[in-house]
Structures are given as C-alpha cells and as structure tokens.
Amino acid sequence: MRRRLGSGGLTLHMAPMIDIVFLLLIYFMVATDFSPAEEIFRLDLPEQQAASSDPLALIDEPLLIRLESMGYGGGIEVVGPWTVSPTPEGLRRFLAESVQPRGQLFLSDHPIIIEPASDVSWERVIDTFNAVVAAGCTNVTLETPS
C-alpha cells in the first residue's frame, strides 16, 4: 500500500472565523465612544464691516431702470454707479455682462424694476423689457408710470 502525499490537505473551517469576526465587531462597537468630545473653542472673530466695503459682494437692492421721454438727455437710465448706453441694446449688453455666471454683479433672479415716465411709449417699455429678459434676467417687474 502506497500512501499518497498531498491528497489529505489541510482544510480551514470558516464558521469559527466568522464567529470571531462578529465577536470582535461587537466588542469594538461597545467599547467605542461615538459621541464627539465636547470642548469649548475660543474664537476671536473680526469685526463686521459695512457691506459696501467688500468689492466682491453681490448687490441686494433691486436694480431700478428708469425710462425717460426721448427729449434732450432722455432714454434709459439705470439707477446706480454704472454707465449704460441709453438704448435697449446697450442695456442688454450691460446686463448680460453683469449677470452670473458670466458677470459678478447680479444673479439671474435679482429683482429688476422698470419704471417708465408717463409720456414714454408702450413700445419703448416692451423693448426695454425684452432687452432685460434677453440678458438672462428672470425677476422683472413693471412699475406704474410716474
């Protein structure tokens, strides 16, 4: 009778190993403190400055666009420190360059108020409204003529 070598190899029983892994898992779950440590951190925050001192701050108040009669100096006036061409196309270019993501002054839903004078034609009001919407602005309102 010959005895074969290697035919009766070692076998590993997995059931006891799985039991040990679960026992270790339960031990570490019970022994671990999951709540964060409560500590007091001293924070010396800088004084808040006025919002106007930050050149990158977005403007909060509505953008007012006044429409004047076409007489001397009449046209479209954007109330604020901006120089805008007094035509609907100039207004559209200004807003398209100022609205995010391309520009940095306004969000697309920033409130815009169009305020026409009482003697401005309805066609100019609609042209101005269309220019504002074409620039990507979504929150546009019309005020009653003054």
Domains of the chain: 59-142 (3.30.420)
Kindly report, residue by residue over 96-139, the tens digit of the pLDDT: 877 766 656 677 777 888 888 888 878 888 888 888 888 888 88
DSSP lists the bridge partners of residue 140 as: 112
Q: In what order do the strands lie in the sheet with 140-142?
A: 76-78, 63-67, 112-116, 140-142
Burial 88-114 (b: 16+ CB within 10 A, else e): bebbbebbeebbeeeeebbeeebbbeb
Kindly report, residue by residue over 43-64, the tens digit of the pLDDT: 776 665 554 555 555 556 777 8
Tokens of 6: 């290697």
Phi, psi for residue 99 in degrees, rounded to 5: -85, 140
**Checking phi first, is residue 139 left (phi over 0); if not, alpha (psi -120 to 50) or beta?**
beta
